[in-house]
Amino acid sequence: MAIILVGFTGVGKSTIGREIAQELKFKFIDLDNEIECRERELIKSIFSNHGEDYFRSVEIRILKEIIGENLGSISVISTGGGTIESSEAREVIKNGNVVVYLRCDKTLIEKRRSVLKDRPILERCDWEVRFEEREKWYESVSTITYFVSDILEENAQNITAELTKIIKKTIK
């Protein structure tokens, strides 16, 4: 079983996931980092050199590999913001896992865009359309939904403490 964090690009899945894993003493896996390591190419380059469709196929393949490699142990996995776009990925994510949807509003993402320059989706002028399209998919896979209003470092610790309590109850 895995604890899988989903949510829009820049909501804090990696930051919060890392802290939850540390608190619960579980292995932490960042899907985006795994993709870059296994493909030996930055995500931004994969998008520009091969296109989004290719990237999504790599993403689902590596997600399946990660889950398969970690059977028998509990790990915390932070996904990319668009991982849930394919129905296959949504099925993989939901299948026997605890899924935490870190929900936010557009203003948080707008505030963070300037520091998230390596995120291809935020460079597009239609990122807000993607934000709205994805909400229904995040909701459809989530076991737990948690609203994130800000992701300052001190808030990440508070969010982690609250989510850790909820997750402990869920996985018992």
Domain count, the chain: 1
Dig out the tokens for 166 from the structure.
């909820």
Residue 149 has pLDDT above 80, yes or no: no
- Measure the CA–CA gap between 74 and 122, rounded to whole angstroms: 31
Q: Bigger pLDDT: 125 or 66?
A: 66
pLDDT (average), residues 58-80 = 92
What pLDDT is attached to residue 23? 86
Query: Is residue 171 domain-resident?
Result: no
Query: Do residues 6 and 99 touch, judged by C-beta distance below 8 A?
Result: yes
More confident residue, 23 or 99: 99
Containing domain of residue 118, as a range?
A: 2-164
pLDDT value at 22 more than 60? yes
127 confidence band (pLDDT: 50, 70, 90): confident
Query: Is residue 172 a part of any domain in this protein?
Result: no
Q: Which residues contact 26 (CB under 8 A, 6 or more apart)?
A: 3, 20, 73, 74, 75, 76
pLDDT band of 140, cuts 50, 70, 90 = very high
Per-residue confidence (pLDDT) for residue 117, from 0 to 100: 60
CATH number where 81 lies: 3.40.50.300
Q: What is the average pLDDT value for the chain, to the nearest integer?
A: 86
The Cα 16–Cα 156 span in angstroms is 6
pLDDT in tens, 86-115: 999 999 999 989 999 999 888 877 777 666
Question: Residue 50's CB: how many other CB atoms inside 10 A?
Answer: 14
> Above 70 in pLDDT, residue 137?
yes
Q: Which amino acid is at 116?
A: L
Q: Is residue 170 part of a domain?
A: no
**Lowest model confidence (mean pLDDT) among 88-97, 119-128, 159-168:** 119-128
Of residues 9 and 4, more confidence is placed in 4
Q: Which two tokens stand for residue 32?
A: 């985006």
Domain assignment present for 151: yes
